[in-house]
Structure 1
Amino acid sequence: APYTGQVVTEAGDLDIDHIVPLRYAWGHGAASWSAQKRARFARDPVNLLPVSASANRSKGARGPLDWLPPDPGFRCQYVLRFRRIAASYGLVHSAAEERELVALTGRLCGT
């Protein structure tokens, strides 16, 4: 499963994770969205990922500055996807958050 790199054989051990959590999005601009845009965001398959239930629960509503997948091999992809989704929906980060996200991307993705 993404995040952990472990093979999951029982469906009950999986959760569907919002890569950009709904509560995170709310605090970064989604509070002002229309109900339709919030619904589209919540159901967007680009923002949904089947992951181990334990990894999903450890992540909670945090973003990449506060949580990274346990599997180091998935961290670059996770951060890139998180940032792409946030940008495509117009989520707003402070200048400091944006600097930290850029630096984190560089460290994880070697750019």
Structure 2
Amino acid sequence: MKVSYTGTALLSTTPAQAALPTPIAASAARSYLSSLTVTTEHSRTGYNRDLFRHWITISGACDTRETILKRDGTGVVTNASCAATSGSWYSPYDGATRSAASDVDIDHLVPLAEAWDSGAYNWTAAEREQFANDRSRPQLLAVTDNVNQPKSDLDPGTWWPSRTAYKCTYARAWVQVKHYYGLTVDLTEKSALSSVLNGC
């Protein structure tokens, strides 16, 4: 697994995004994309979501999901179990703001199954756990649940956020995560990413 990323910054675009790790610049993303190995995806045989232990305990009673809900939300109030009881969440994928945590998913920007197909089938359990709970890169973010569900395990060769203004950010984040973890891309995925990044 590749771990060459050197740092993150903070977004300051909207209150709900204030603590999100900023994706790399478009120029860096184009450079990183050109260095990624292009190959057909590995067989999904053997994949199981449980192989990527996720929503681990971060602090006290708070797991990864609850931590990201607090990070990405505005005015979030939690109970003794760390569950969000109120707040609002801006979803960058569709531009909607939700006021119930139950309407929000924590998306793995590069889906777990996609990571498996792109090289994670060969990782250790600890490496998969790190990937599934990575709060340092733009890999986890709170989004509208019924927008995230159709995305499922699709890559940019098939799926993009409906909000056009976010596509460049999404492409930069996708390439950053794949580069950091040494994951591969397929030809259709790379072409779609290149098309968006060239317009950033």
Taking structure 2 as the reference length, the TM-score comes to 0.51
Corresponding residue to 2:149 among 57, 68, 75: 57
1:39 lines up with 2:39 in the alignment: no
| CA drift at 1:96 | 5.6
| Distance in 2 of aligned mates of 1:52 and 1:95 | 29
Q: Specify which structure has the higher proportion of strand.
A: 2
1:10-29 aligned within 5 A: 10-29=100-119
Partner of 2:44: none
Larger radius of gyration: 2
Where 1:49 maps in the other structure, the secondary structure is strand
The change in CA–CA distance for 1:35 and 1:99 in structure 2 (over 3 A counts) is same
Secondary structure, in 3 states, of the residue corresponding to 2:107? strand
| CA distance in structure 1 between the aligned counterparts of 2:159 and 2:144, rounded to whole angstroms | 15
* C-alpha distance 68-38 of structure 1, shift in aligned 2 (>3 A): same
Structure 2 regions of 5+ residues with no counterpart? 1-90
Residue correspondence of structure 1 range 1-111 to structure 2 within 5 A:
1-45=91-135, 46=137, 47-94=139-186, 97-107=189-199, 109=200
Give yes or no for contact 2:167–2:196 (8 Å, CA) kept in 1.
no
**1-side partners of 2:183 and 2:163: how far apart?**
26
Secondary structure of the corresponding residue to residue 67 of structure 1: coil
Question: Identity percentage over the alignment?
Answer: 35
Larger RCO (alpha carbons 8 Å, 6+ apart): 1
**TM-score, normalised with respect to structure 1:** 0.89
2: CA distance, partners of 1:28 / 1:52: 26
Q: Cα gap change, 1:41/1:10 in structure 2, threshold over 3 Å: closer, same or farther?
A: same
**Consecutive unaligned residues in structure 1, runs of 5 or more:** none
- Going by fraction, where is helix more abundant, 1 or 2? 1
**1:24: how far off?**
0.3
Deviations, residues 17-70 of structure 1 (Å, cap 9, x unaligned):
000000000000000011111110010022110000011101100111110001
Deviation at 1:3, TM superposition (A): 0.1
Q: CA deviation at 1:104?
A: 3.1
Gap change, CA 1:96 and 1:7, over 3 Å in 2: closer
